[in-house]
Structure formats: C-alpha cells, structure tokens
Structure 1
Amino acid sequence: MKKLLLTALCFSTTSVFAASQVLLETPVTYAPDASVVDQIKNECHIEDMLTRHVGDALRRINKTGDGTIASQTDAGGAKILRLQITHVLGVGGGAWSGPKATTVSADLLEDGKVVRHTKINRWSVGGMWGAFKGSCSILDRTTIVISKDLSRWVRDPSYEIKEEAPPKDASASEPTAQTDPASAAKAE
C-alpha cells in the first residue's frame, strides 16, 4: 500500500513539474519595425545570443531539456516565452562608438494565449576592459542580463522588470526605443 501511495505521489508531482515548464520559442525574431543597424544585425546575430542565454536560463529552471521549442511545435502543456527584438542601439567600433543596448518584447503564452507581457531594455558599455571589446561582445553582455531578468520574470508573476536608464556615457542625442517625451524634454 505504501509503495502504491508513493508511486502515485511521484507521478502527480512529475506532472506538476512538467506543467510548470517554460520554453523559449525559437527562432527569436525581429519585430517588423525593429530599429537595428544592418551591420550589427548581420554580424552579431542578437537573436542567436538571446536563444542561447535565455534558453540556458530556462533549461536550468526546468531542470530538463534545452529550454527551447521550435515555433509551431506542440508545447505539451508547457508555457511558451516568445521574444521579439524591437531595438538594438549599437554600431561598429566597440566601446569607442558609445554604449550599446538591446530591447526585447516578451510574451508568456499558456495554451496559445498571452498571459503576461513585458518589454525589457538593457545597456552596457563593455564592463572591465570594455574599450578593448567589439560591439558584438558588448551586446552579448546585454543579452546575458536580459536572460537573467526574464528567468526571474517567468518564475515570479509579481516581479516587474524595471526600466534601465542609459549609462552616463550615453549621448542625449542618441535615439533610443525607450525615450519618452517627458525624459526627452529634460535631456534637451
């Protein structure tokens, strides 16, 4: 009797864990109106960086698989995280051409319906030895931070991703996807 009860308990907890999995939908795409310099888009492959880092974060949360699922594939009860790149601030020249930023729009889907949405923007100037890093390396740092924020966001419905202000090195004249009219007026 104890073995039967233990077996039933194991199966019930396994299905609970399986249902709570979150998988990143691949491929990560660019929004139709995404603002990205073609050179950065073609050389850095931000979508691959996000797939790797966010997929790894979800794999660690799920404790199984690779954390990703191909678009149009049956999720088998798992929630789906859909990312779209909406803006990438960066040109060639590494840290010498100023700070870099990546902005993504994230939807958490359950049974094909959006249950949560957020937008996240992260900046980097390259960190230690930033002056010796290329633009793609600096943008990769932004995708790592995005993956950490999103892993917490998918686990905790009360967690709100805070807007990150540009580094003090950022020029007020640089266009950003996150500039609102009030802060633009203050900057001028």
Structure 2
Amino acid sequence: MKLRPIHMLVLSLFASTASAQSLQVQRPVPYSEDGDIADKIKQECTINEQLADFLQEYAKEKGIAVQFTDGPVDKAASGRVLDLRITNAISMGNAFLGHQKGTTAAGTLYENGQKIASFKARRHSMGGAFAGYKGSCSVLGRTVKVMGQDIAAWLTAPVDGASLGDK
C-alpha cells in the first residue's frame, strides 16, 4: 500500500505527539533561600505545590510531560530538568481593603547537564472579580496559576534571560 502525502502527515503528527518531551521538576517547588517570603505564606498557603501542579497541567497541553521529583532536581541528570524556585511572594491588603498580591520565580532549564536557558517570572493580582470574597491564599494561587502558563509557554521555545509575566 502506497501512502499518500496526507497519510504521511497524519503519521508524523501522531509520532510527534506520541513522543512528548519529558521534563523533571521538583514538587513542591522550593522557596529560594535568599527569597523574601513571609512565614505566614509558607505556613498557610500552598503556592509551592500549586505552581508545580499548574506547570504540569499547562505543559501537558504543550506536549511536555512533567515528572515530579521529591527532592532537589539533579541538574546533571540525562534529559531535561527545570531548576525552579519561588523567589518572592507578597501578600498585602485583604478582602476588605483590596488585595495586593504578587509572586516571583526563577528557573534554569538544563538538558543532559548543560544549561539551556533561564528566566525570571512575575505575576501580580488584586483578586479579580469578586475579590472581596477571596482569601489571601486564593489570590496568591491566581498568580502561580498564570505563572504556570507563562513557564509552560516558555518551555516550548526557551530564551535565555527571559522575563515572563508582569513587567
């Protein structure tokens, strides 16, 4: 049976989606040792788990399979590894006065032990619609959700020194 060009196209699309890229990321995403994150955020919110989960969700949509590690990622490991850290989280205001929340993160992508590219990401939120009914952790969760989208998009075409999200 001779394959027509359309059949070859379908087969190539199937082959490319069947062999999705794989990426190792630590879950929960660690807080940077020199970062400025209030203890209250670390104790009451789960933005470090949410960021990993959102990244996995949005990366999957882009054909990237995120595998979690329990401990620090091995930058020298074979394959692709993202060393991701939350560098700052700010929680000012409240539901009555207005939310002013922000999260920043930094990441470096390695492939087979070689640095490919790095980025810094930043997202802010005032809570969006019905902000008066949202708690601080919920609003911070909004920042890492969009940050997960930003990082997943960056992973499709990593640029060294990229600045993702809000400027």
Same fold (TM over 0.5): yes
Amino acid corresponding to residue 143 of structure 2 in structure 1: T
Amino acid corresponding to residue 17 of structure 1 in structure 2: S
For residues 25 and 34 of structure 1, the distance between their equivalents in structure 2, rounded to whole angstroms, comes to 17
Q: How does 1:31-180 map to 2 (within 5 A)?
A: 31-62=32-63, 67-70=66-69, 71=71, 78-91=79-92, 93-94=94-95, 96=97, 98-157=99-158, 160-162=162-164, 164-165=166-167
Larger helix proportion, structure 1 or 2? 1
For 2:62, what is the secondary structure of its paired residue?
Answer: helix
Larger strand proportion, structure 1 or 2? 2
TM-score, reference length from structure 1: 0.68
Give the paired residue count.
Answer: 156
More off after superposition, 156-165 vs 103-112: 156-165
Determine what percentage of the aligned residue pairs are the same residue: 29
Gaps of 5+ in 2: 3-7
More off after superposition, 68-77 vs 155-164: 68-77
Which residue in the other structure is 1:178 paired with?
A: none
Q: Compute the displacement of 1:41 (Å).
A: 1.2
Q: Compute the displacement of 1:155 (Å).
A: 0.1
Q: Compute the displacement of 1:52 (Å).
A: 1.2
The structure-2 alpha-carbon separation of the partners of 1:102 and 1:74, relative to structure 1 and needing over 3 Å to count, comes to closer
Q: Compute the displacement of 1:56 (Å).
A: 1.4
What is the aligned-residue RMSD (CA, Å)?
Answer: 3.4
The structure-2 alpha-carbon separation of the partners of 1:112 and 1:27, relative to structure 1 and needing over 3 Å to count, comes to farther
Amino acid corresponding to residue 67 of structure 2 in structure 1: T
Q: Compute the displacement of 1:91 (Å).
A: 4.7
For 1:99, what is the secondary structure of its paired residue?
Answer: strand
Q: Compute the displacement of 1:97 (Å).
A: 5.5
Q: Deviations over 1:93-118 (max 9, x none)?
A: 34636410000001111112321101
Which residue in the other structure is 1:170 paired with?
A: none
For 2:129, what is the secondary structure of its paired residue?
Answer: coil
Does the 8 Å contact 1:24/1:54 carry over to 2? no
The structure-2 alpha-carbon separation of the partners of 1:78 and 1:40, relative to structure 1 and needing over 3 Å to count, comes to same
Does the 8 Å contact 1:22/1:58 carry over to 2? no
